[in-house]
Structure 1
Amino acid sequence: MNKIGIIGNGYVGTATGKGFATSPENQIFSYDKFKESPNTLDEVVENSDFIFICVPTPIFSDYSGMDMSIVEGVVGEVAERVKDSGKIVIIKSTSLPGTTKKMAEKYPQVDFAMNPEFLTQKNANADFLKPYRTVIGCEKLEVGEKVKGIYQTILPPDQKYIITDTASAELAKYMSNLMLASKVLLANEFYDLSQKVGANYSDVQKAVEADPRIGTHLGVPGPDGDRGFGGACFPKDTIGILGLAKQIGIDMSALQAIWDKNLKIRQNRDWEEMPQAFKKDTE
């Protein structure tokens, strides 16, 4: 029996728990500090061999970067209790590249893995059981293989697994989301160009989406009726990477231009009302 703990019962934690619960080989324990939970934190840590951290990583209200303090705080609480136990702490929260390695260096007697989620908020439960790929970051291959093992209880035999280092796993999540976000902004610009030159954007969209290399989701306005991209993930991931790039001196001016254009055309900054995405200034 695989004993699996979930800390944080937002849409990611909920999908993770429900997904693993589809196999009788797995027993689930879950806890959320801010919600009624079936278990306490102590019960999750004591009873679980695999502990998933699924807590928010919001951006700062001044858009300067991403707040990793919630993840770091929860990891600190858990790590002190699982030293030399063989339990694996799996960070599933979207985390800046280098976060998991930093935690592993801080708590060397704990086995860590990074397992980014690629879920849509609207269909998280279904997405969890039908992933395009399962990415597992680890510094020890045997840790990655153990995490792969619990996924094999719920995913098809031909599931694609990518086991890599933790920083690469973290960055893969950001690059995936920001490639999609960039595509949304390019579609918006070609929509404007279509209006100007008298083209039928609906037909342009169909012709472009017919190329499997490009994919879909080129509709303008988007499914929420607004221009650009909103929601929890794309805005906070954009700001997270831009903040990191500025801190370490990497030129990401193309991504900056995409974000600036998004702010220009987007009417509803809905992410600012989502606590999992936006940390409001309480001072």
Structure 2
Amino acid sequence: MNIAIVGTGYVGLVSGTCFADTGANVTCVDVDAQKIERLKNGEIPIFEPGLDELVLKNVKAGRLHFTTDLASVLDDVQIVFSAVGTPPDEDGSADLKYVLQVARTIGQHINHYTVVVTKSTVPVGTAAKVRKTIEEELEKRGIKDLEFDVASNPEFLKEGNAIKDFMSPDRVVVGVESEHAKKVLTKLYKPFLLNNFRVIFMDIPSAEMTKYAANSMLATRISFMNDIANLCERVGADVNMVRAGIGADTRIGRKFLYAGCGYGGSCFPKDVKALIKTADQNGYSMEVLKAVERVNERQKSILFEKLQKAYGGQSLKGKTIAMWGLSFKPETDDMRESTALVMIKLLQDAGCTIRAYDPVAMDECNRRIGDTVTYCNDMYDAVLDADALLLLTEWKEFRLPTWAVIKKAMRRPLVIDGRNIFDSEELAENGFEYHCIGK
């Protein structure tokens, strides 16, 4: 089966590579000529464990190709996936200009039955706009009887675990409007059906809504636990004990119940905003999600508040602060909506000097904010002469540090743990002042 995937960002490149690994002939398309050239040369523009090896494997096997010209591949493909960006507009709604541009190009050049699948996260009603755009372009060409289908196939990939998520999914959600489209997409997903993974077919609006609802539910759990954690601190409870207690209830479950310093990334913040906006546009107010968003924005400054409190409300000007972690989560260099960006601004506004270390995200941080912080060689270099250590991202290499070395390097042995990964008793035994979330 020949397919094209438009957009070589996180979703497009991972999806295209994994489809190729199941035997499909895949062409990844992007308007960024420099990115395409890098991919042809084996350079992977994003960090995702295992992706570089899988790309090289399938390029070598002749199943994975890269081009800037979508029109040149449309005669040979049965399915076109649109995986272009849908950045939030100023009002929080998803910007569909790239999605509709792909639809226009398809309408201008298709000559046979094609299934056009939206892979990007898009608001309910986008598929109808895609169909209308393609029909308008066909009408301009004087073509009235060319059949095509539009479908929705939202992705549920977790950064840092995307390949496993794609190849062994909890479920595959597919929205279709015809039996023909269902037959074509069933063939594409046959390797997954053989492994007994769930492919759930539904109508297109429901598929479009499913992605937003799923991410918003997960974001809600995170903000709820952060709210509980902040209350635990005030009443003398331990959020880790509370988490264990409520997580044992099978109706609730254990996942996404960890308190911390706020969620970030390319999905949760954007999707919560977009669903709130979709509701507003349809005369309904998503009160729970508005609260989720407010709690998360407040939580991103919680470590700064703890730092101020540790210094008795005194000025932080001239203090040197070590930061472990810059990416919004481990196993990625993605800093979109990262708590680290909020913390860096708060610390700099307070007159602090920042010494930062992250295993993979320092280049991305430098691209975003330049050399306004000191990028360190490792986590021990970061704490040199520091007046406090802030843990923002729970990378595995941060879990078992040698505290005796760290204490000797720091001016003040103060640790503020934004992810609750350290043992308070161990730090106390080593002479550290320790603060975490919800305890």
Any stretches of 5+ residues in structure 1 without a counterpart? Answer: 222-226, 275-283
User: Match for residue 171 of structure 1?
Assistant: 209
Secondary structure at 1:246's aligned position in 2?
helix
Structure 2 matches for 1:51-200, cutoff 5 A? 51-60=80-89, 62-82=90-110, 85-108=112-135, 109-154=147-192, 156-200=194-238
Distance in structure 1 (CA, Å) of the matches to 2:337 and 2:235: 35
Given candidates 273, 276, 281, the residue that maps to 1:239 is 273
Secondary structure at 1:75's aligned position in 2?
helix
Q: Deviations over 1:181-210 (max 9, x none)?
A: 000000001111221222222122122223
Distance in structure 1 (CA, Å) of the matches to 2:13 and 2:161: 12
Q: Deviations over 1:19-60 (max 9, x none)?
A: 111223x11111111221522323332321111111110102
User: Match for residue 17 of structure 1?
Assistant: 16
Secondary structure at 1:153's aligned position in 2?
helix
Q: Is the 8 A contact 1:96 1:241 kept in 2?
A: yes
Does residue 45 (structure 1) correspond to residue 74 (structure 2)? The answer is yes
Distance in structure 1 (CA, Å) of the matches to 2:92 and 2:257: 29
Secondary structure at 1:163's aligned position in 2?
strand
Q: CA deviation at 1:134?
A: 0.9
The farther-off stretch of 262-271 and 129-138 is 262-271
The farther-off stretch of 119-128 and 181-190 is 119-128
Distance in structure 1 (CA, Å) of the matches to 2:21 and 2:73: 19
Q: CA deviation at 1:237?
A: 0.4
Q: Deviations over 1:137-168 (max 9, x none)?
A: 11112202311221112454422121111111
Distance in structure 1 (CA, Å) of the matches to 2:200 and 2:258: 31
Q: Which has the higher contact order (CA 8 A, sep 6+)?
A: 1
The farther-off stretch of 99-108 and 231-240 is 99-108
The farther-off stretch of 115-124 and 38-47 is 38-47
Does residue 258 (structure 1) correspond to residue 292 (structure 2)? The answer is yes
Distance in structure 1 (CA, Å) of the matches to 2:205 and 2:15: 22
Percentage of pairs with the same residue: 32
Distance in structure 1 (CA, Å) of the matches to 2:215 and 2:194: 24
Any stretches of 5+ residues in structure 2 without a counterpart? Answer: 40-65, 136-146, 302-325, 329-334, 342-439
Distance in structure 2 (CA, Å) of the matches to 1:244 and 1:229: 21
Q: Is the 8 A contact 2:276 2:285 kept in 1?
A: no
Secondary structure at 2:75's aligned position in 1?
helix
Secondary structure at 1:217's aligned position in 2?
coil
User: Match for residue 4 of structure 2?
Assistant: 5
TM norm structure 1? 0.86
Q: How many corresponding residue pairs?
A: 265
Distance in structure 1 (CA, Å) of the matches to 2:199 and 2:251: 21
Distance in structure 2 (CA, Å) of the matches to 1:30 and 1:103: 20
- Of the two, which has the highest radius of gyration? 2
Q: CA deviation at 1:98?
A: 0.6
Distance in structure 1 (CA, Å) of the matches to 2:93 and 2:125: 15
Distance in structure 1 (CA, Å) of the matches to 2:76 and 2:250: 45
Q: CA deviation at 1:233?
A: 0.2
Secondary structure at 2:109's aligned position in 1?
coil
Given candidates 202, 223, 237, the residue that maps to 2:240 is 202
Q: CA deviation at 1:80?
A: 2.4
Q: Is the 8 A contact 2:107 2:133 kept in 1?
A: no
TM norm structure 2? 0.57
One-letter code of the match for 2:150?
F
Q: CA deviation at 1:180?
A: 0.3
